[in-house]
Amino acid sequence: MKNKTINGKDISKKIRSELEEEVAALIEKGVKPGLAVILVGDDPASKTYVKSKQKSCREIGMESLLIELPSDTPEETLLAEITKLNENDAIHGILVQLPLPSHISEMKVIEKISPEKDVDGFHPINIGRMMTGQDTFLPCTPFGVMEMLKHTGIDPEGKHAVIIGRSNIVGKPMGQLLLRENATVTYCHSRTADMKSLTNQADILVAAVGKPKMITADYIKEGAVVIDVGINRDENGKLCGDVDFDDVKEKAAFITPVPGGVGPMTITMLLYNTVKSAKRTLNR
Ligand code: NDP
């Protein structure tokens, strides 16, 4: 089957060009959307992600502020930085790059960010709003997956969606968003017994595990939609997903590649949420 690869880059491009127009319109009204990113320490992967987020902001005309703190920054100092950003009217979105050094409580940090500027959608208030179907900032990765499905014409209603992974930032909200669109949702995790028997029933399979190429064709139902959230390195140090793309591609109806699948969508939805936050200030 041709064109079965869901191209996250192309979908991202389309959404970003719409956002660029919205940013220009906001600037005309005197509001330049601004995202602040706090990076603690010098983890190379985190640095790469942060750079990419900043570049993407600038490309669509948004303001991007980077605050770099050393890895031994006391928790109190980080919390104080967040308070300053909460009070800064030029900043519409605040993102603290995870993971944080082990002496800092991630939950305390997330809860310190004003829910009105929590463009990652990780604050418990925003998670509660998502669960109860209220307007909020949706967590960027699962939000990006939902946009990919929408742009590909895949309606989750009545489908059996199986999510592998139950993290707070990907797996759990992924299931909630699919449920919201009337899918029947099953979660799998490291303690799931006989996982293949469940994944083999999936019309939509989302892999968010963090294990290179773990999902092979024997996990997949013929004609399934396979969404690969994983970002890993294979045995040769090459970027790869949780899904063994070459093994699965013939059996799946649709599949997302790594790189060029969910990754670009995550950043796009971060931009989307920041623009949304800036628009809200106009209405206040
Ligand atoms: P976590 O490590 O927080 O969660 C992994 C989940 O996978 C856990 O729920 C864990 O189960 C489950 N798991 C681990 N091993 C197995 C197994 N053998 N069988 C079944 N389930 C298993 O990871 P994240 O959710 O943060 O990220 C997942 C992947 O997605 C990573 O590769 C990450 O790099 C990538 N990612 C990609 C993003 C993007 O933009 N594309 C954004 C964020 C993450 P348990 O809960 O029982 O431990």
pLDDT in tens, the chain (284 residues): 445 999 999 999 999 999 999 999 999 999 999 999 999 999 999 999 999 999 999 999 999 999 999 999 999 999 999 999 999 999 999 999 999 999 999 999 999 999 999 999 999 999 999 999 999 999 999 999 999 999 999 999 999 999 999 999 999 999 999 999 999 999 999 999 999 999 999 999 999 999 999 999 999 999 999 999 999 999 999 999 999 999 999 999 999 999 999 999 999 999 999 999 999 998 77
Structural domain spans, the chain: 32-115, 140-263
- Kindly report the protein residue whose alpha carbon is nearest to atom 18 of ligand 1: 190
ipTM value: 0.99
Residues 21 and 269: their CA atoms lie apart, in Å, by 15
Amino acid letter for position 237: G
The verdict on whether residue 52 carries a ligand-binding annotation is no
At residue 3, the pLDDT reads: 58
- The third-level CATH classification (topology) of the domain covering 140-263 is Rossmann fold (3.40.50)
Residues 152 and 254: their CA atoms lie apart, in Å, by 9
Residues 244 and 207: their CA atoms lie apart, in Å, by 11
User: What H or E segment, with its residue span, contains residue 118?
Assistant: none
Instruction: Give the Å distance between the CA of 97 and the centre of ligand 1.
Output: 17
Asked if 32-115 and 140-263 have one fold, the answer is yes
Task: Verify whether ligand 1 is closer than 6 Å to residue 209 (CB atom).
Answer: yes
At residue 1, the pLDDT reads: 45
CA atoms within 13 A on the CB side of 90: 6
Instruction: Give the Å distance between the CA of 208 and the centre of ligand 1.
Output: 5
207 closest CA partner among 234, 225, 233, 184? 225
Q: Which residues are catalytic?
A: 53, 97, 120
Task: Verify whether ligand 1 is closer than 6 Å to residue 194 (CB atom).
Answer: no
- Which option is the CATH number for 32-115: 3.30.365.10, 3.40.50.10860, 3.40.50.261, 3.40.50.720? 3.40.50.10860
At residue 284, the pLDDT reads: 74
- Kindly report the protein residue whose alpha carbon is nearest to atom 19 of ligand 1: 190
Quickly tell me which residue has 């959307």 as its tokens.
33
CA angle 118–123–59, rounded 5-degree value:
25
Instruction: Give the Å distance between the CA of 279 and the centre of ligand 1.
Output: 33
CB contact at 8 A, 97 and 38:
yes
Say whether pTM exceeds 0.90. yes
CB contact at 8 A, 255 and 245:
yes
